[in-house]
Amino acid sequence: GHSEELRTDIVTLTTHIIAEQQKSGKPATGDMSLLLSSIGSACKWISNVVRKAELLKVIGATAITNVQAETVQKLDVLSNEIFINLIKGTGRAAILVSEENDEAIFIESERGHYIVVFDPLDGSSNIDCGVSVGTIFGIYHVLDRSAKPSLKDVLRPGTEMVAGGYCMYGSSTIMVLTTGDGVDGFTLDPNTGEFLLTHQKIKLGKKKIYSINEGNSHAFDKAVKAYLDSVKFPPAVNGKVPAYTARYVGSMVGDVHRTLLYGGIFMYPTGKLRILYECFPMAMLMEQAGGKASTGRKRMLEVVPESIHSRAPIFLGTAAEVDAVEALYKKLD
């Protein structure tokens, strides 16, 4: 039979980041490459704990109770510690903002010029039933390298983000990243422990899918209700009703990942999701993949968060769908 030749033209997350930096022609210190590659390492470790979680609960339970009735650490707390330690270890960050920490973390010694905002394990309410969860992150430069880092460096519009992405712990572990020149995806190869470039320059798919927690309908604005009606009850074309398909994982990375690859629109209109480390990175990815992201009333990336954990409504996906939502807001507000 025909045996497939082993490929040798391998592009890893790290080599890809370095190549992109060189291509951009900007003088680079390698700080950003180091940061992104440490985010990659953090995600591998988080992937590992996520994948062991169920087994540890069942098999590890007795072993753990023997050691002073200590409770098993929650996965989101564990993921947060992993992420923080790996980023701090690069010496390239000045401020860290995590969903898990009420206050921003200002790095005192070995400080660099970057700010990393992140949700170490988003969608963790899904973990006990094996549904995909993920890490979301964004990166800013500090405003002024010679000044002492402050919250002013963080409370900035998403248009100033220099990189954003997520890592999804799904049927495989996949890292999706933008540094402002398109979106690329890297799949974790469990054999070599490398993130390999598997999805080059992702462009939003074209399927008609809407994704929303409709249990919150009682709280939806008129515009959202009107939009939902329009996708569920479109006028018939040649005797067929071109209704959309509904998909809702309830895990932002899962819902955004599907939206990127297949197309459609993801909505969380009641303002649960956090601007800095949930909305901005996903909005940046969408725009870089040819889509849009909006609060319904304005471009998501132009929002300026009032505080590090501020929330906003979000609509993201295919440009035409997001435009339709915005038009309804203009009309019905």
Using CB under 5 A, list all residues that contact Mg ion: 99, 119, 122
Find the shortest distance in angstroms from Cβ 219 to Mg ion. 19
Find the shortest distance in angstroms from Cβ 293 to ligand AHM. 14
Determine contact, residues 164/284, Cβ cutoff 8 Å: yes
Find the shortest distance in angstroms from Cβ 143 to Mg ion. 26
For 49-63, letters b (16+ CB in 10 Å) and e give: bbeebeeeeeeeeee
For residue 124, state whether it binds ligand AHM (rule: CB under 6 A): yes
CA dist 193 and 227 (Å) reads 44
The strand order across the sheet containing 194-199 reads 105-106, 93-98, 114-122, 133-141, 163-169, 173-178, 183-189, 194-199
Within 10 angstroms of residue 112's Cβ, the number of other Cβ atoms is 23
Angle between helices 222-232 and 319-332 (to 10 degrees): 130
Q: Which residue has tokens 């039933």?
A: 129
For residue 259, state whether it binds ligand AHM (rule: CB under 6 A): no
For residue 50, state whether it binds ligand AHM (rule: CB under 6 A): no
Token reading at 177 = 């990243």
Task: Measure the CA angle with vertex 212, ends 206 and 217; round to 5°.
Answer: 140
Nearest CB to ligand AHM, comparing residues 149 and 296: 296
Between residue 126 and residue 165, which ones bind ligand AHM under the rule CB under 6 A? none
Nearest CB to ligand AHM, comparing residues 113 and 292: 292
SS3 125: helix
Nearest CB to Mg ion, comparing residues 150 and 216: 216
Find the shortest distance in angstroms from Cβ 43 to ligand AHM. 16
Nearest CB to ligand AHM, comparing residues 17 and 78: 78
Site string for ligand AHM, 81-120 (x = CB under 6 A): ------------------x-------------------x-
CA dist 204 and 264 (Å) reads 9
CA dist 229 and 69 (Å) reads 53
* Binding site partner of 251, from Mg ion, ligand AHM, none, Cβ cut-off 5-8 A by kind: ligand AHM
> What are phi and psi for residue 68, nearest 5 degrees?
30, 55
Kindly write down the DSSP assignment for every residue of 3-33, as one continuous string.
PPPPP----BHHHHHHHHHHHH-S---SHHH
Nearest CB to Mg ion, comparing residues 202 and 279: 279
Nearest CB to Mg ion, comparing residues 122 and 326: 122
For residue 310, state whether it binds ligand AHM (rule: CB under 6 A): no
Q: Which stretch binds ligand AHM (CB under 6 A): 35-43, 61-69, 229-237, 244-252?
A: 244-252
* Binding site partner of 221, from Mg ion, ligand AHM, none, Cβ cut-off 5-8 A by kind: none
Count of residues engaged in binding ligand AHM, rule: CB under 6 A:
13
CA dist 281 and 227 (Å) reads 25
Find the shortest distance in angstroms from Cβ 268 to ligand AHM. 6
Between residue 270 and residue 309, which ones bind ligand AHM under the rule CB under 6 A? 272
SS3 288: helix
For residue 250, state whether it binds ligand AHM (rule: CB under 6 A): yes
**Chain residues that interact with ligand AHM, rule: CB under 6 A:** 99, 119, 122-125, 213, 250-252, 255, 268, 272
